[in-house]
Amino acid sequence: MKALVVDDSGVMRRIISRGLNSLWVNDVAEASDGLEAIEVFGDGAGFDLILTDWNMPKVNGLDFVQSIRNAGRTLPIIMVTTETEKEQVVRAIQAGVNDDLIKPFDQEMLRLKLERVIPNPKA
């Protein structure tokens, strides 16, 4: 399984990537903002999952998600964010986010979110 982790914090990218690797995601690509993520994602070939921050420079997470959905991609997207206001959550869902993971989080919370968006993840 291959994931794209998008966050402007290098520390947060490493935390998420290590968490994914300790579960069942064996290939993780990283991007530091939404613009770089669009380039890394390319045509989407090979990616099974995206975890993206909301607040980033250049292109924010919400705009990145909308670009993925507008391209017809249906892979699961988890918004990893500090945004907890109901209006923001609704905007993310309307943009095509499958679930959110609120910072700070632990390994168990990451595992549960993955299991919610990926049926039979170890299959």
Summary mean pLDDT of the chain = 92
Confidence of residue 88 (pLDDT cuts 50, 70, 90): confident
CATH assignment, 2-117: 3.40.50.2300
Domain ranges of the chain: 2-117
Percent of the chain scored above 90 by pLDDT? 82
Instruction: Give the global pTM.
Output: 0.93
Phi/psi for 54 (5° steps) reads -90, -55
pLDDT of residue 122: 62
